[in-house]
Structure 1
Amino acid sequence: MKEKLDRILLVDDDDSTNFLHKTILGRLDCANHIDVCQNGKEAIEFLSAKVDGEYPQPNVIFLDINMPIMNGWEFLEAYEKLIPEQKGDLIIAMVTTSTNPADRQKAQDFNFVSTFMNKPMRKDNIRELLKAHFPNLF
């Protein structure tokens, strides 16, 4: 049996994008759980809530920039303030339709953001990211 990540979190307000990305991740069969939050506030609440006495601690967060209520940048600022047990040891990938070079630079200013990807994500982009950070998966 191949090794899998325990949990991936998609943070995006677009239902069709979430459906597509969840389908691609499902086909890669790389995680036991794929959770979806519609905005940064929901994602912070998700990361901060214990389930059966433990925080969810996803291995990867795919984060959109432009969302209502709390956008990706606001999420990253709130994420920095979480306690270590809520953060876990994870990779954050910014996933966006933005072509603004300033967004890519701003993402690099957060040391826990590992990559900046264009939407929609493709199987090869996801596989490349996972191979780089989790070589035992493939």
Structure 2
Amino acid sequence: MSAQIPNFIIIDDSRLDCFIAEKIIQNSGTYSSVKSYMEATEAYEAIKNGLIGDDSIITIIILDIQMPVMNGFQFVEVFEKLPKEIQSKFAIFLFSSSINENDKNRLDNYPSIIRFYSKPISKDTVAQMIEQI
């Protein structure tokens, strides 16, 4: 993909983590839009129904692993069943405050996950994510 200013979606059950990530992305100055979801199921439905995701701009998904109802891996499993033309509009980056070895080993099972980062998100992390899309 080419260098572009992406949209961002934050999926995290922590209101504070969503707020912090939004502010860091906004302060980076390299975003088209930013939206937070505290439930992965809500974000998935919006993606599946075409409510988010632009044909001309990639959307970076900042996805927390440990969430109730639908965790990060469960989100990726249903996401990867969506049509390729939908999947191609998004780039998924997993985030967690603590990741165990089993979770790290599972990352390779999901082609749509670009990279794992430890929380908290930083301006440098935002720049790295944009470089990788």
Q: TM-score range by the shorter chain?
A: 0.7 to 0.9
TM-score for both structures, normalised by structure 1: 0.83
Deviation of 1:10 after TM superposition, in Å, equals 0.6
Q: 1:64 matched to which residue of 2?
A: 64
Deviations 1:77-109 (A, max 9, x none): 110111223323332100001231221121222
For 1:30, what is the secondary structure of its paired residue? Answer: coil
Question: Residue type matched to 2:91 in 1?
Answer: I
Q: 1:41 matched to which residue of 2?
A: 41
For 1:17, what is the secondary structure of its paired residue? Answer: helix
For 1:114, what is the secondary structure of its paired residue? Answer: strand
1:1-138 aligned at under 5 Å gives the runs 4-5=5-6, 7-51=7-51, 56-57=53-54, 58-133=58-133
TM-score for both structures, normalised by structure 2: 0.86
| Structure of larger gyration radius | 1
For 1:127, what is the secondary structure of its paired residue? Answer: helix
RMSD: 1.9
Q: 1:136 matched to which residue of 2?
A: none
Deviation of 1:129 after TM superposition, in Å, equals 2.3
* Structure 2 residues without counterparts, runs of 5 or longer: none
Deviations 1:3-34 (A, max 9, x none): 522x1111101000000000000011111111
* Structure 1 residues without counterparts, runs of 5 or longer: 134-138
Structure 1 distance, partners of 2:104, 2:23, is 26
Structure 1 distance, partners of 2:126, 2:20, is 13
For 1:78, what is the secondary structure of its paired residue? Answer: helix
- After superposing on structure 2, the runs of 4+ consecutive aligned residues of structure 1 that deviate more than 3 Å are none
Contact 1:47 1:87 in 2 (8 A): no
The number of equivalent residue pairs is 128
Question: Residue type matched to 1:32 in 2?
Answer: S
